[in-house]
A and B are shown apart, each in its own frame.
Chain A
Amino acid sequence: MKHDIQVTINGTSHQLAVPANRTLLELLRDDLRLTGTNKGCEAGDCGACTVLLDGDPVPSCLVLAVQADGCDVLTIEGLASGNRLHPIQQAFVDTGAVQCGYCTPGMILVSLALLRKNPHPDEAEIRGALSGNLCRCTGYQKIVQAVQAAAKEMP
């Protein structure tokens, strides 16, 4: 049996019929082909599939699509306006916070949620906010620096 849901993704409202066992991650990747949301563990451990659900970062592998009915979802594809990068994206590019890139969308979305709530976080707050998003490439040093740089740039 499929469920009819309405979900706003990156500002666009979608009416969708989804099977009960479909996760939000599968909905984004497989149905809507928004593949910037990455699949790393399907157990909520790695953070590669992070999206903002009504503004809060969540692991989309642990959200059923039916649970997102009526919600607002922001994925990494919804951040830049045209060719103009969001200040956090620009900071990740400039600081060298990107290596393999697999954790990057999640890292950026978590940073966005942090800076919206706390525009001037200290280093410990940044590290705490990033602690659900694993990165094997960077040692987090340049990611933390990117968030610090973005905090200065954001209005």
Chain B
Amino acid sequence: MNSYRVLNSRVARVDAVEKVVGKAVYTDDMVVSGMLYGAILHSPVAHARILSIDTSLAKALPGVKAVLTHADTGHVKFGVSPARYDETIFCEDKVRYVGDEVAAVAATDPGTAMKALDLIKVVYEPLPILLDGLRAMEPGAPKVHERFHRNICQEVHWHFGDVDAARAQADFVRTDSLSSKMQDGAFLEPQSALAQYDHNGYLTLYSSTQTTHYVHRTLAMVLDIPLHKVRVVKPYVGGGFGPKAACSSMELITALLAMKTGRPVKITFDREQVFLHSRARHQFFHKMTTGIRRDGTISFLEHHCIMDGGAYSSFGIASVYYAGSLLGGPYRLANMKYDGYRVFTNKPVSGAQRGHGAVIARALFEVQLDRLAEEIGMDPLELRLKNVMETGDTTCNELDMSSLGMRECLEAVRERTGWNSRRTKGSSHKADGHGMGVAAGFFVSGAGYPIYRSRTHHCTVEIKVAEVGGGVTVRSGAAEIGQGSDTMLAMITAEVLGIPMEDVKVLSGDSDLSVDLGAYSSRTTLMTGHATRQAAMDARKQILEVLAEKTGIPLDALDIRDGFVHVQGSQMDFASIRKEYLGEHRGFPTQPHGDLLTFAEASRLAFLERGSIIGKGSYRPPPLGGSFKGAAVGTSPAFGCSAQVAELNVDMETGQIHMERITGAHDCGFAINRTQVEAQMQGAMSMGLGEALMEEVKYDDQGRILNANLAEYKIPTAMDMPPLESIIVESHEPNGPFGAKEVGEGAIMPTIPAVLNALYDATGAMVTELPLTPERVLRAIKKARGETSRGDGDTREQV
């Protein structure tokens, strides 16, 4: 047992009560006086030149206060990575996907705004449409952007070790492929933004974003406002999962409308617009060749990937690196070759989503490990244990596993599921419809570098001790989006300062409060946690210094616990301090009493002696990674890892999958809040299961989404989710605050392959295209029956 008083507990979230009583304020809940309602005109065609835009009728409609097109903007390009700025607020020369932003209006009510959109007349000249990512690089394919040759947004060519030499030494080699479909974030809260622009030129944007920092920078850059005059505030956010991690045209439009009208403007997406804006998981086409030795040692991996990114770059430049780099672990793999291409098509834009870039690659590699284990007659979990990396190992692409409880995770799920006794050996041939599958994976605990090149601190935190004494306020730019970061900040502060949680107030998600890169790459607990710990230690030191000066007790003999000052070895005479405090508080019904000096008295004293007490903290990772091109992507101060076992039943006649249970173990280094670690694991499993079984954005032949709604874009309901077991593994990460590292994304890594491996165990079927609809599963079952255990796309060979 540890000696923590707050950390590692199951204390309730600081925002839970507000959320269960319906008082938590999300952006669309906000109304300010004089507010206008904005609306966006999206392109109805996938690829066309804009010949003309006539807004005169819209402008003449009573109640319309502004109608904007590209002519009203500064034409500044933006995007995620400065190396790929390829978006403008509105389309200028042409539209590139159904949903591209063409114009916008602000009106006194939503109905008028909607009518005004219909009065904007745009004349398009249709251009050939490119919808198939696999055809994007072909000669003669329609060009989405003039400046990108062969529609390639980014390509990666890596070779670590010597794949050819390893191939010659391998005993078994097999090649498999797996493709997925474009996802949707399907967070419950559609994006919303509310902008205010004041007479001094200050812009405030309230937005349902994961990254106030990047929105702040992009607003300033695109709208040409001094950075210090832009403030981005994130109210409560109803889920993000990645797609809300970059500045959007909608946020820029809202701000621009407010600047043009001089009135507050709000825009809230319809659900359909959430799909059009997308920025969710790419569609991936992976092909992998993996070799192993007869004893189960993995020899090499050769990996080819094409990812369909839609019409703009967004996070794609990073996604294509992640797809390759995050196969460097968690198994010892000395030889790895990767060729990745992220291409443009005339479809909504893909970006980052939970497990950024790496989820489908992980799925195929873990499937390959299972098939190879079968070929050498080894238990697949055993094969993983044989190859697993340990703390201190470095991957072939120079990722440093400063802590890694991968073995512990695999052993934990093996034991909890009774794997050894329940999973039949050579089970692929039983095909009775019941199956178990295992898989593992790892993920960064915060990107090693910011998205733009900078020495910036990744986060700063200030803890202001109440001048009246008794409590503190944590001031942070970190983005609480449901993952629990506010609670983490409060817990660390309470622990370090030695005060109860209820005396810690968290102010967060505001670019005026501090720098924080935001909620992406599973960075907040490690990075903002560090900064918070430092700030709390600073505040604590300042208070105790004053106390030491006043009482003559050495600083290191003083401690604060449970809101009281404790002195090691001796008693403290604080009569004069208490007397002064009581004197200041005549008439207050509650007064400090008893044998111990309270935090309220100590912190008030500190203020009286020194003025405001503000603890400061910041965090910036050390230089990380190798020197090869793209080495920065995938680096992190720490890596979380996860193993899961999926159990399922398949209706062998319909192909329907019934999930029975998922058992997961995740190494989060150290659980700041045990309940929230489990919650993240369970959420990751559900998103992974959705991707495995049902999620798919579908298009017609004109690039229009067929299922831009939550009825036909299917995420799991409560009836689809099986019971989930979550086991916390703690490897005590040396680079993490209190040993903590990520849980939000690593926990999704094993889910899809565990399901695929369980399906194979149940039926002998290998499906090479996700999601696992009943029809695809049934087709694969039939194929497996016809060809014994051989799946489609399987070209295994014995060397």
Contacts and interface: CB of A to CB of B under 8 A. Distances in A.
| Direct touching of A and B (C-beta under 8 Å) | yes
Interface of A: 29-30, 33-43, 45-46, 48, 75-77, 79-80, 85, 89-90, 92-96, 98-105, 108, 123, 126-128, 130-144
Given A35-B25, A105-B22, A138-B679, A100 B189 contact: yes
Given A43-B711, A85-B17, A140-B686, A48 B676 contact: no
A102 B15 CA distance: 12
B625 interface: no
- The 3 A-B pairs at the shortest CB distance, nearest first, are namely A36-B22, A100-B482, A102-B238
Interface string B469-512: 00000000000011110000000000000000000000000000
A105 to B, nearest CB: 5
B398 to A, nearest CB: 34
Given A42-B270, A96-B675, A139 B686 contact: yes
Interface residues of B, number: 59
B679 A75 contact: no
Interface in B698-724: 709-711, 715-719, 721, 723-724
A56 to B, nearest CB: 18
Contacts of B721: 127, 139-141
The winner among A99, A133, A138, A140 for most chain B CB atoms within 10 A is A99
A96 B678 contact: yes
A65 B724 CA distance: 40
B711 A45 contact: yes
B671 to A, nearest CB: 12
B538 interface: no
Contact of A38 (B188, B682, B723, B726): B188
Contacts of B271: 40-43, 45-46
B241 A136 contact: yes
Given A40-B189, A96-B678, A140-B686, A76 B22 contact: yes
A35 B189 CA distance: 13
Nearest to A80: B21
Interface in B1-48: 10, 12-13, 15-26, 28-29, 31
A100 B719 contact: no
Given A40-B189, A98-B19, A136-B187, A141 B723 contact: yes
Contact of A137 (B482, B675, B678): B482
Given A35-B29, A100-B238, 6 more contacts: A45-B709, A77-B22, A92-B16, A96-B10, A98-B13, A99-B482
Nearest to A44: B711
Contacts of B26: 35, 38, 102
Contact of B188 (A43, A100, A128): A100
Contacts of B482: 99-102, 137
The winner among B10, B271, B684, B718 for most chain A CB atoms within 10 A is B718
A139 B683 contact: yes
Nearest to A106: B188
Contacts of A126: 718
B97 interface: no
Interface in B658-694: 675-676, 678-679, 682-687, 689
The winner among B10, B16, B270, B678 for most chain A CB atoms within 10 A is B16
B186 interface: yes
A44 to B, nearest CB: 8
A38 B685 CA distance: 25
Given A38-B188, A127-B719, A99 B683 contact: yes
Contacts of A100: 187-189, 236-239, 481-482
Contacts of A135: 188, 718
Contacts of A85: 17, 20-21
A93 B710 contact: no
Contact of B190 (A36, A40, A94, A136): A40
Contact of A89 (B20, B29, B236, B237): B20
Nearest to A124: B719
Nearest to B481: A100
Interface class of chain A by DSSP:
loop
12 contacts: A46-B271, A48-B188, A79-B21, A96-B13, A96-B675, A100-B237, A100-B482, A101-B20, A123-B723, A136-B186, A142-B679, A144-B718
B742 to A, nearest CB: 16
Contacts of B28: 39
Given A38-B238, A85-B20, A93-B12, A136 B188 contact: yes
Contacts, number: 180
A136 B717 contact: no
Contacts of B709: 41, 43, 45
A89 B189 CA distance: 21
Interface string B231-256: 00000111101000000000000000
Contact of B710 (A37, A43, A131, A142): A43
B20 A108 contact: yes
B5 to A, nearest CB: 19
A34 B682 CA distance: 31
Given A46-B710, A76-B21, A137 B239 contact: yes
Contacts of A43: 271, 709-711
Contact of A46 (B23, B188, B718): B188
A98 B16 contact: yes
A30 B16 CA distance: 24
A102 B189 contact: yes
A36 B682 CA distance: 25
Contacts of A103: 188
B21 A141 contact: no
Given A43-B711, A45-B709, A141 B241 contact: no
A141 B677 CA distance: 13
A79 to B, nearest CB: 7
A41 to B, nearest CB: 4
Contacts of B686: 136, 138-140
B691 to A, nearest CB: 12
Contacts of A141: 682, 721, 723-724, 726
Contacts of A144: 718
Contacts of B15: 98, 101
Nearest to A89: B20
Nearest to B12: A93
Nearest to B28: A39
Contacts of A130: 717-718
B22 A35 contact: yes
Nearest to B187: A136
B189 A37 contact: no
A153 to B, nearest CB: 14
A69 to B, nearest CB: 22
A139 B683 CA distance: 5
Nearest to A93: B16
Contacts of B239: 99-100, 102, 136-137
A104 B654 CA distance: 35
Contacts of B724: 139, 141
Contacts of A40: 188-190, 238, 271, 710
Nearest to B240: A100
Interface in B440-464: none
Nearest to A35: B29
Given A46-B710, A100-B237, A140 B718 contact: yes
A38 B17 contact: no
Nearest to A86: B20
A85 B19 CA distance: 12
A140 B719 CA distance: 9
B186 to A, nearest CB: 5
Contacts of A35: 22, 25-26, 29
Contacts of B31: 30, 33
A93 B20 contact: yes
Nearest to B354: A136
A108 B10 CA distance: 21
Nearest to B185: A136
Nearest to B17: A93
A131 B718 contact: yes
Contact of A134 (B13, B481, B679, B710): B710
A82 to B, nearest CB: 11
